[in-house]
């Protein structure tokens, strides 16, 4: 078996942490139990490019429990948990991922996954799909799954241009994914990354959240819960208004730049914090990014403006400005929750990855009629995932009485 990981001797540590994550992934466990019986993925080759974490390890094992043959590489060079990678390899699942791998190795690993000629690919940021539309057009999978907002935006653009070569399921768009993973997962884990790299007290500080989508809302809510004064920067008037009605201050980026103690970017956009903002930031301001790519903070310009740079703590770098101010950047401007902490908690990845597994089943069940489009999973699968998760949390779900059901039917029909 071919693989490329940092250190196989980390397998036992990885195994323990994978088991800990599994305890908090009951929905995925119920799918796994079903797949062990029905084996829906018998002989199906999966190529996955995802954050190599303990939660992803549980997804890989779930697919394998259904008969799938899985190969995994990283979707970000800084997010790989080397012990999780080692445990998977020790368990017979090929992994190509080394934490902090350079760009050349990163792309070599993507190619290694595609060399397995996958029937179904899984992306977190559309990297495999991009290669399948450029260098590897000799391969045409039955379908692909996309985990994140940024990837889905690219895929929808490809669909609109008529360029998409095969069907893709936008797993991100399932309600039981983005309403929970993006919001609660990113909200909590982005702050976890900030806390681990700085050990700062959030209470009483001004936290500027740039982008008030699902992720930004989560970061704002959690910062608020920790006692921060929250400022939101948005370009969409509806979302900006919604932030204002949540009680947050809404400002332009330039206004916010001079008041923020901590900045968290979550827009999926480029250079949302740039020179004009760096020029007015307070001494000691801390800058973090939780959006998919490391382009949201213009680090090239910040490096040029700085007279010196110094690594202060793991994932915490100081940029000294010529006027004596010091700005601090977390995790090189990469996803702070994955690069400086452990990514989303297993409890929330449970639902995201249940959607991934159900999407794979859905592609196989519908392969004859799927076109080269971006699909959303049917709503009944969302309902299934939500009901299973609610039951696992011990929540009771009210059911309509027969009288209520017929009342609703006749109301809808106008009878």
* Residue closer to ligand NAI (CB basis): 83 or 214: 214
Q: What is the DSSP string of 340-363?
A: SS--S-HHHHHHHHHHHHHHHHHH
Query: Is the Cβ–Cβ distance between 291 and 266 less than 8 Å?
Result: yes
Distances in Å between the Cα of 132 and the Cα atoms of 121, 183, 312, 350 are 10, 30, 40, 28
Output the residue with the shortest Cβ distance to ligand NAI.
213
Distances in Å between the Cα of 308 and the Cα atoms of 157, 258, 286, 312 are 40, 22, 16, 12
One residue of 215, 354, 374, 377 binding ligand NAI per CB under 6 A = 215
* Residue closer to ligand NAI (CB basis): 247 or 402: 247
Helix (H, G, I), strand (E, B) or coil at 249: strand
One residue of 28, 44, 231, 290 binding ligand NAI per CB under 6 A = 290
Per-residue binding letters, 318-357, with ligand NAI (x by CB under 6 A): -----------------x-x------x-------------
Instruction: Please tell me the distance from the alpha carbon of residue 218 to that of residue 341, in angstroms, as a whole number.
Output: 16
* Residue closer to ligand NAI (CB basis): 65 or 250: 250
* Residue closer to ligand NAI (CB basis): 62 or 75: 75
Binding segment toward ligand NAI, per CB under 6 A, in 52-60, 85-93, 136-144, 286-294:
286-294
Helix (H, G, I), strand (E, B) or coil at 154: helix
CB of 212 to ligand NAI, least distance (A): 5
Site for ligand NAI in 142-201 (CB under 6 A): 148-150, 178, 182, 186
Residues 6+ apart with CB under 8 A from 141: 47, 118, 119, 120, 121, 132, 166
Site for ligand NAI in 220-279 (CB under 6 A): 233-236, 239, 266-269, 272
CB of 116 to ligand NAI, least distance (A): 26
Residue whose tokens read 């002989």: 43
Distances in Å between the Cα of 240 and the Cα atoms of 51, 67, 149, 182, 262 are 31, 47, 19, 18, 19
Neighbours of 13 (CB within 10 A): 15
Please work out the total of residues on this chain that contact ligand NAI, with binding judged by CB under 6 A: 29
Residue 297 near ligand NAI by CB under 6 A: no
* Sites of contact with ligand NAI (CB under 6 A): 148-150, 178, 182, 186, 210-216, 233-236, 239, 266-269, 272, 290-292, 335, 337, 344
């Amino acid at each position: 078996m071919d693989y490329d990981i940092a250190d196989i001797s980390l397998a036992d540590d990885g195994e323990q942490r994978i088991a800990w994550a599994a305890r908090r992934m009951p929905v995925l466990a119920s799918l796994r139990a079903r797949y062990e019986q029905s084996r829906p993925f018998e002989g199906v080759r999966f190529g996955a490019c995802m954050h190599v974490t303990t939660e992803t390890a549980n997804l890989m094992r779930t697919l394998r429990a259904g008969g799938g043959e899985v190969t995994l590489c990283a979707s970000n060079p800084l997010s790989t948990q080397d012990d999780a990678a080692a445990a998977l390899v020790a368990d017979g699942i090929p992994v190509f991922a080394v934490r902090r791998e350079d760009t050349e190795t990163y792309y070599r690993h993507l190619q290694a996954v595609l060399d397995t000629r996958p029937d179904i690919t899984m992306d977190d940021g559309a990297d495999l799909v991009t290669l399948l539309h450029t260098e590897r057009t000799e391969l045409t999978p039955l379908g692909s799954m996309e985990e994140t907002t940024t990837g889905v935006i690219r895929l929808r653009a490809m669909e609109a241009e008529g360029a998409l070569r095969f069907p893709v399921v936008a797993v991100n768009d399932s309600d039981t994914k983005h309403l929970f993973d993006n919001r609660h997962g990113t909200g909590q884990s982005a702050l976890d990354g900030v806390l681990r790299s700085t050990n700062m007290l959030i209470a009483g500080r001004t936290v500027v959240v740039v982008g008030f989508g699902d992720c930004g809302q989560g970061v704002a809510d959690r910062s608020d819960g920790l006692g921060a004064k929250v400022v939101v920067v948005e370009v969409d008037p509806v979302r900006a208004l919604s932030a204002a009605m949540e009680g947050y201050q809404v400002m332009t980026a330039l206004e916010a730049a001079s008041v923020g103690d901590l900045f968290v970017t979550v827009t999926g956009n480029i250079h949302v914090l740039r020179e004009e903002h760096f020029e007015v930031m307070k001494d000691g301001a801390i800058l973090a990014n939780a959006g998919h790519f490391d382009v949201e903070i213009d680090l090239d310009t910040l490096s040029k403006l700085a007279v010196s740079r110094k690594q202060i703590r793991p994932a915490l770098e100081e940029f000294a400005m010529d006027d004596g101010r010091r700005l601090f950047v977390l995790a090189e401007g990469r996803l702070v929750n994955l690069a400086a902490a452990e990514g989303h908690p297993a409890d929330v990845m449970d639902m995201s990855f249940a959607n991934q597994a159900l999407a794979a089943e859905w592609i196989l069940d519908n392969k004859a009629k799927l076109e080269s489009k971006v699909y959303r999973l049917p709503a009944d699968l969302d309902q299934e995932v939500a009901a299973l998760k609610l039951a696992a949390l011990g929540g009771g779900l009210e059911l309509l009485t027969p009288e209520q059901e017929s009342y609703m039917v006749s109301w809808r029909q106008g009878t």
